[in-house]
Amino acid sequence: MTSRPAPQLLALPLALLAIAVFFAVKEPAFLGPRNLTQLIVEFSIVGTLALGMFMILLTGQIDLSIGSGVGLIGGVAAVLVFQQGWSAPAAMGTAFIVALILWTAMGTLIVRQRIPSFIITLGGLLIFKGLFWLVIQNSTIPVSRGDQENLYSRLTTYYLPSSFGFALVAIVLVALGILTWRSRAARSAHQLANPPAVRAVGQWLVMAAATLGLVYFFNHFRGVPLSLVVLAATAGAVYFLTQHTPFGRYLYAIGGNEEAAVLSGIAVNQVLVGAYVLMGVTVALTGFMTTAYSGASTTTVGDLMELDAIAACVIGGTALKGGRGTVWGVIFGALIITALLNGMTLLAVSPEIKFIARGAVLTLAVWMDVKLGRR
């Protein structure tokens, strides 16, 4: 959980800036309110899933089934709403429980049978994809009836009123301030060195300016997207969990040295299962948002999303062998991946080139993790 060097901290914002400048020059509409709002919705989807993968990677494990799981869970809810006539909350709640059961079962199988997570989740990828196609019967299942929207469909089409957006930002900033103060106080109590107070205040001010400016921008279009609120809540929960709870410290400890974690008395199996349960939570949230954004559950929902989630984590500095990474790094990584995909879509880049670009980004991210001394 050590801090990253200044050059690495600056690399992500500079890379994002370079991508934004490139696409803005090629297509000025890239920085238009409509496209930026669409980009933020897409970013919220990728970021939410990547935060779940982040907790898995911290332990040195991996989950290749999440893309198929996104399609399956979204499809279950869509079928219950559209074909079975369930209310959206009931359908989403049921699908959410299904996700928890599936990922609890996978986590339990991995730790009790000592089978590599790569193998189990690769099998899950195929099983969930098959179940997904069976559930929707290889057809297209819409998430709303005609012009009547429901909670499900509004996940990516609802925008907060302007006053709500500013109130939400104020709450987030106060919470961040309190968490930062508590962290500094805890380090001082244990006689550990703290970064300069000026630096902490400066970071908080930058965060405040950025978020307030973002809300101001959104309010001049439609408002803050509900999907961004889902991402913010997920990021806040994961940040608190990984930085301010014993469970979070155990995730880092297991990824850093599992044998040492066992010898120190950490219940490694329970923590690993817990990480997969939390992965199921983020898969469910992402499944709902992805299907709502698509407007329907189709056989292509969730395709390759596991690779985007892994790439976002690794670009953001999360080690594939576990033990190191930050929530902020994952958020930046997800934003870079989303900006790249959004820009290519805006320029009408062919699907073949998109596949090549995604593969190149993932390969480059892994190469950087291995070769540039992140461990």
pTM for this one?
A: 0.90
Instruction: Give the Cα separation of 201 and 276 in Å (integer).
Output: 35
Q: What are the pLDDT tens digits along the chain (375 aa)?
A: 444 444 455 777 888 888 999 999 998 888 888 888 899 999 999 999 999 999 999 999 999 999 999 999 999 999 999 888 888 899 999 999 999 999 999 999 999 988 999 999 999 999 999 999 999 999 999 887 655 567 788 888 888 887 888 888 888 888 888 878 887 787 788 777 777 878 778 878 887 888 888 888 888 778 889 999 999 999 989 999 998 899 999 999 999 888 899 988 899 999 999 999 999 999 999 999 999 999 899 999 999 899 999 999 998 889 888 888 899 899 999 999 999 999 999 998 888 888 898 888 888 877 776 665 544
Give the DSSP letter string of 22-74: HHHHH-GGGGSHHHHHHHHHHHHHHHHHHHHHHHHHHTT---S-HHHHHHHHH
The domains located in the chain, with CATH, are 7-161+223-371 (1.10.3470)
Is 318:324 a contact under the CB 8 Å cutoff? yes
In contact, 81 and 269? CB cutoff 8 Å = no
pLDDT at position 313 is 93
- Listing DSSP states for 93-162 in one string gives HHHHHHHHHHHHHHHHHHHHHT--HHHHHHHHHHHHHHHHHHHHTTS-EESSBTTB--TTGGGGT-EE-H
CB 110 within 8 A of CB 270: no
User: Which amino acid, residue 276?
Assistant: Y
Q: CB count, 10 Å around CB of 370?
A: 14
